[in-house]
Structures are given as structure tokens and as C-alpha cells.
Amino acid sequence: MKHLDEFADLKTLDPATTEIDPHSPRARATLERVLATDPADGVRPYRTRRRLVRVAVATSAVAIAAVAVFVPRDSGPVPGGGMAYATWTAQPAGLSATDRADAVKECRKSLKGMGQDDQINRAGTAMVERRGDWALVILTGHDQFTASCMTNVNPRNRQGYGSMGGPGGASVGARQLAPSAMGTSGGGNNGYLTSAVGRAGSDIVGMTYNSPTRGQVEASVQNGYFAFWVPGSEFDGHHPVPVRVTYRDGTTAAVKLRLGF
């Protein structure tokens, strides 16, 4: 009968047993097949990727100290900047007298304890600009003393940080720029921001920076100084930054910001 023939065929198969004979034809064939197979074929190794961030303070050659940490990044622009900067605007705005006084006060406070308290107390205010909830303050004093701060003017979120450093002893030509601080700062819960601050010649009345993530950003140019910032990390203090300046006669030119070291 047919089912008996099938049963007979089944008995001819190699039975599975608990005892494995390493010299059996099946065992030898399996071993040869395993040894002949490249263990890398079809296997994708698991790789962990860690991002190393080099930290360096970017200020001018005559910098005294720095509170803000400038973090050069070689991987290109990083969008964002944290929810703390969600109110940022590409065009700077003015401040009320009260907010301006508070911003300057908080700036001086954040710089105390760096060994230049007398200079900070005597320094005048060269510029205060506002972008959303944040004000950027520039203080200037004797012996080329310059300090810049970022201060949150929202009374429910008072915080800030800054840096001290001079733009150099050489005078700035009428159509020249002398950055005193450039790079990425911040971090932590607020996220990063990128800023450039320095002196502007008397013939320069405007400046724009073309951000790869935010579009055209208008800088503040007041009292012989310039300043702008954007949320996120866009440039460091080691490479020139292209900007476009407007001169008093209405002409414009493409120039590059460079720290003087």
C-alpha cells in the first residue's frame, strides 16, 4: 500500500539522536560549510557614534577673561537654539527705559567676580539691542576695556551670561571692522546661540549677516560698535564670517569678520 511505501522511505532518512557523531557525513559537511563561510558576509556590525566637541574661548588677543564659552563646531550649521530663544527676531528692537536699565544692571552683575569689578562699575553703555526676550549689552571703558552680555529681560526668567575682552589697541579705520568676540556660546537648558560683537568704523552705518538657517539678519550698529546673534550654532571664532556692510554714502560691500589673533 502507498502509506507503507512512504513509511519505508522515512526510515531511510538520517535520524535525529541525542548522540552527535562528529565523523558522520552530515557533521563533516556542516563543519566544512561553516569554515568556508566569511563571518562578515551579511553581518552589519553595530557602531556607536559619539560626537566630540572641542571647547575653546574665542576672544581677541588682548582679552582679559571670558564668562561665555565659545564652542567651535566643524560639522556645519546646527539649527535651533532651544525654546529659550523662541522669541528671537532677525531685526533688532529698542527697549523701554526700564528694560534698558535692567539689562545693563544684569550685565554688570553677571560679570562681577572676574577680577575687573572696578572697570565694570565705571564702564559706559555703548549699545543695548533687543531680540525677543533677550537683550545684548556692550559696555566700554578705559584701556580698551570691552564687555558684552546676553540678558533675558523677561522678569519671570532673569538670566544671562557675558564675556570680557578688548578689540585691540589699534584704531579702527572709517570702513573697518574689529570683532572682539565671535562664536557659539550658551548650551545647557537654553541651547546654543551664535554672536559677533566688535567695533565698527565711523563710515559704517549698517550690517547684515546671511544666516543659513534664519535668513538675513540685521545687525545693530551704534556708537562705533556692531552686534548681532542668532539661535543655534553657526560659526566659530576661527574662521572668517561673511557679512555685508552699508556705508554712510549708501554704498554696500561684502566683507569678512575675523578675530584679531
Residues 6+ apart with CB under 8 A from 227: 127, 129, 136, 138, 148, 195, 196, 197, 198, 219, 220
Poorest-confidence range of 119-128, 160-169, 228-237? 160-169
Q: How far apart are CA 119 and CA 126, in angstroms?
A: 14
Q: What percent of the chain has pLDDT over 70?
A: 61
What is the residue-averaged pLDDT of the chain? Answer: 74
45-87 tens-digit pLDDT: 333 333 323 323 333 322 323 333 333 333 333 345 557 788 9
Predicted local confidence at residue 229, as pLDDT? 95
Predicted local confidence at residue 101, as pLDDT? 93
Predicted local confidence at residue 30, as pLDDT? 59
Cell reading at 191 = 541651547
Given a contact cutoff of 8 angstroms between Cβ atoms, the answer to whether 147 and 111 are in contact is: yes
Work out the angle at residue 56's Cα, subtended by the Cα atoms of residues 212 and 215, and round it to the nearest 5 degrees.
10
- Sign (positive or negative) of CA dihedral 97, 112, 137, 211: negative
Residue 216 CB-density burial (10 A; 0-12 exposed, 13-18 middle, 19+ buried): exposed
Neighbouring C-beta atoms of residue 100, cutoff 10 Å: 17
Range of 150-154, 180-184, 190-194 with top mean pLDDT: 180-184
Q: How far apart are CA 155 and CA 134, in angstroms?
A: 11
| Residue 223 or 8, more confident | 223
* Domains of the chain, residue spans: 65-257
Work out the angle at residue 8's Cα, subtended by the Cα atoms of residues 7 and 10, and round it to the nearest 5 degrees.
65
Report the DSSP pairing between strands 177-187 and 160-164: unpaired
